[in-house]
Amino acid sequence: MSVDHYTYRVTWSPADGEHVGLCAEFPSLSWLAPTPEKALSGIRKMVTEVVADMRANNEDIPAPLADKHYSGEFRVRIPPEVHRALAMQAAEQGVSLNRLASAKLAA
């Protein structure tokens, strides 16, 4: 497993007045820097160090989201009136409820 497979993101932090580097698999970590490139470099280095430390201590290391298998299925509980309204929309559009919900989630 390579730290290159982790999900990194850089965004602007108005509160800090700097760019912040983030890693989705390690939500408690962040790295502030004056440029996006330095923020990304900093968070990648930090993740590398944290993973090495976790390995040394025989801790479970998060799997990269990109390496996980997704079945394409998940359950969502909604109020009955929302279920009814969605079923009616699907029927009116001539599509399955599953297709309607998928399209709404993708939008």
Q: What is the pLDDT of residue 93?
A: 95
What confidence tens digit (pLDDT) does each residue in 26-76 have? 999 999 999 999 999 999 999 999 999 999 999 999 999 999 999 999 999
pLDDT at position 7 over 80: yes
What confidence tens digit (pLDDT) does each residue in 17-28 have? 999 999 999 999
43, 17 Cβ separation under 8 angstroms: no
Q: Is 57 left (phi over 0), alpha (psi -120 to 50) or beta?
A: alpha
Identify which of 104, 57, 52 has the alpha carbon closest to the alpha carbon of residue 76: 104
Q: 0.95 cut: is pTM over it?
A: no
